[in-house]
């Protein structure tokens, strides 16, 4: 029994840094949940730069951090694990920012500081987990980050939504101005945000202390090949040098940047659909899934889907999971349109939210896995910025425009048209991802790099070579 306990303790401390980084996405999700609620609650107010300023600041800071990591990799010729220090900084910003939400009119100040922490969490968190994890745990841990993020988002919507509805109920029968409706709605959010920030800051500092004491290791990858390559300086080896070094291979066209840009594009489209449907199901009277008092239920259902994704990723790849989810979305959308058109029931739309939660992390996983290791943080910046742009564009063109005859339509023909548009986009995204994304499930990062480089017939595929080629020394090559 003592031996079993000892093994559990060793394994816990082995993965402790990764667990802590996953938890750091909880306050980040809290911040984005505030943004969603603020956009909904303040949509009747005149929008100006101060509403989009925090998002712009977050994208700008992500670019700066990505360029710093890129410069560091060029100078050091290896990956330096400074992310835990960066996460301590995000904890400090979260703690200070939470104080501004207590006072009316100062939530925008808090939002600017919150998005400093929000942006750095993405760059440091995803970059750390991608390279520190083993091939078996990498997808699960990145998916765990997304689940923590969605849980934070759902928690924020619950707290702010409850306060918003309470304001409306207290002023029932009166003409409520937009300013009265949002008065004090962020106080409960601020108290919870402050508590979470303080706890997370203490945990991250504790992790750094344990690293100094030698109890945990935050500077060496659990992927043996990656750790060795990082130590000897060959981790950023150019494709031409890889081709010269490897034996028994078949070279095709380099697909890395092609696949990376395709995934960035499809991820932005998928996230825009996600944000659009969240706003649509919350605000359109014709398809509203719940009243404002219980709008947070949608986000908890999405979070539940992300937890289900963790279970699925234990057995299938992120690519298979994403494509399967998209195909299910097509089926559910068809059923939903038929059932809603005949009976008026919206039950099937809840399954769409579960599927969005199920697919939320899949593209993020494969995008990080196929990205060039030198430019990981730059791709994270691009992915992060596209998410913020998607949110802003959907809000500006659809939500804030209360007279939008498409977004707020109630007639059945327009609603059906939106369903068909959703189906077409979903089908195209599933097709692109299914055809272009390589196999990455439980494969070492360097092997994934070689595959997207176009270097195939590696060690596990050598038996596919013609025996005559091996005997006479002929190795076929298309191009280098």
Q: Is 10 within a domain? A: yes
- The answer to whether residues 281 and 327 touch, using CB atoms and an 8 Å cutoff, is no
Count each helix (H run) and each strand (E run) in the chain, helices first: 19, 2
Question: So what's the pLDDT on residue 383?
Answer: 96
**Does residue 137 contact residue 265 with C-beta atoms inside 8 Å?**
no
Integer Cα distance of 389 and 409 in angstroms: 24
* The pLDDT value given to residue 375: 95
pLDDT at 401: 78
Place of tokens 């939903």: 336
Predicted pLDDT of residue 264: 95
Residue with tokens 């989810």: 325
Long-range contact pairs involving 415-423 (C-beta distance under 8 Å, separation at least 24): 415/286, 415/287, 415/340, 416/337, 416/341, 418/280, 419/333, 419/336, 419/337, 422/273, 422/277, 422/333, 423/330, 423/333, 423/334
In 3D space, the residue among 26, 371, 20, 307 whose CA is nearest the CA of residue 140 turns out to be 307
CATH classification at residue 364:
1.20.1250.20
What domain range is 434 assigned to? Answer: 2-463
Domain assignment present for residue 327? The answer is: yes
Q: What is the pLDDT along the chain (480 residues), one digit of tens a residue?
A: 567 777 788 888 889 999 999 999 999 999 999 999 888 877 766 555 557 889 999 999 999 999 999 999 999 999 999 999 999 999 999 999 999 999 877 888 899 999 999 999 999 999 999 999 999 999 999 999 999 999 999 999 999 988 887 877 777 666 666 666 677 788 899 999 999 999 999 999 999 999 999 889 999 899 999 999 998 888 998 888 887 777 656 777 888 999 999 999 999 999 999 999 999 998 888 888 887 778 889 999 999 999 999 999 999 999 999 999 999 999 999 999 889 888 888 889 999 999 999 999 999 999 999 999 999 999 999 999 999 999 999 988 888 877 777 888 888 888 888 889 999 999 999 999 999 898 888 899 998 998 888 887 554 444 444 445 545 555 554 443
Beta-bridge partners for 455: 251
Residues 6 or more apart whose CB falls under 8 angstroms from that of 85 comprise 208
The angle at the Cα of 80, spanning 370 to 14, to the nearest 5 degrees, equals 80
Element (H, E) at 313: helix 296-313
List C-alpha distances in Å: 365 to 22, 307, 321, 375. 14, 15, 11, 15
pLDDT at 47: 55
**Is 76 within a domain?**
yes
CA proximity to 230, closest of 123, 122, 88, 130:
130
- 469, part of any domain: no
Work out how many domains the chain is built from and give that number: 1
Residue 446 covered by a domain: yes
Please check whether residue 480 lies inside any domain of the structure.
Answer: no
| Contact partners, residue 432, CB within 8 Å, separation at least 6 | 262, 266
pLDDT at residue 2, rounded to an integer: 62
Residue 165 included in any domain: yes
- The per-residue pLDDT for 312 is 92
* Domain-located, residue 262: yes
């Amino acid at each position: 029994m003592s031996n079993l306990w000892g093994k559990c303790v060793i394994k816990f401390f082995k993965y402790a840094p990764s667990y802590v980084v996953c938890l750091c996405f909880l306050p980040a999700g809290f911040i984005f949940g505030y943004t969603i609620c603020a956009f909904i609650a303040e949509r009747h107010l005149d929008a100006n730069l101060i509403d989009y300023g925090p998002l712009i600041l977050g994208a700008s800071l992500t670019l700066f951090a990505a360029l710093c990591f890129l410069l560091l990799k060029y100078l050091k010729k290896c990956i330096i694990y400074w992310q835990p220090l960066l996460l301590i900084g995000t904890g400090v910003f979260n703690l200070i920012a939470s104080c501004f939400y207590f006072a009316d009119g100062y939530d925008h100040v808090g939002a600017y500081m919150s998005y400093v922490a929000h942006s750095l969490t993405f760059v440091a968190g995803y970059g750390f987990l991608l390279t520190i994890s083993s091939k078996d745990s990498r997808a699960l841990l990145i998916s765990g980050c997304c689940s923590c993020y969605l849980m934070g988002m759902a928690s924020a919507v619950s707290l702010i939504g409850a306060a918003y509805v309470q304001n409306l109920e207290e002023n029932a029968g009166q003409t409520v101005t937009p300013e009265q409706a949002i008065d004090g709605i962020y106080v409960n959010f601020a108290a919870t945000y402050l508590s979470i920030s303080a706890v997370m800051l203490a945990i991250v500092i504790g992790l750094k202390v344990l690293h100094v004491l030698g109890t945990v290791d935050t500077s060496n990858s659990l992927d043996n090949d990656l750790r060795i390559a990082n130590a000897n300086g060959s981790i950023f080896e150019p494709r031409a040098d890889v081709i010269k070094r490897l034996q028994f291979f078949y070279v095709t066209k380099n697909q890395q940047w092609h696949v990376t840009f395709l995934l960035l594009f499809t991820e932005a489209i998928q996230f825009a659909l996600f944000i659009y449907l969240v706003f649509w199901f919350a605000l359109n009277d014709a398809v509203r899934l719940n009243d404002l008092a219980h709008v947070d239920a949608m986000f908890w259902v999405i979070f539940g889907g992300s937890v289900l994704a963790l279970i699925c990723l234990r057995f299938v790849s992120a690519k298979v999971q994403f494509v399967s989810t998209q195909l299910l979305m097509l089926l559910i959308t068809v059923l939903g349109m038929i059932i809603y058109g005949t009976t008026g029931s919206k039950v099937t739309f809840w399954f769409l939210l579960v599927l969005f939660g199920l697919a939320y992390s899949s593209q993020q996983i494969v995008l990080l896995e196929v990205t060039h290791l030198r430019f990981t943080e730059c791709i994270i910046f691009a992915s992060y910025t596209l998410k913020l742009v998607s949110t802003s564009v959907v809000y500006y063109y659809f939500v804030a425009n209360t007279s939008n005859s498409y977004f707020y339509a109630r007639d059945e023909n327009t609603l059906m048209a939106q369903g068909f548009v959703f189906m077409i986009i979903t089908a195209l995204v599933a097709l692109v991802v299914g055809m272009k994304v390589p196999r990455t499930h439980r494969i070492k990062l360097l092997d994934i790099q070689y595959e997207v480089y176009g270097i195939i017939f590696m060690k596990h595929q050598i038996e596919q070579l013609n025996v005559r080629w091996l005997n006479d020394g002929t190795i076929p090559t298309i191009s280098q």
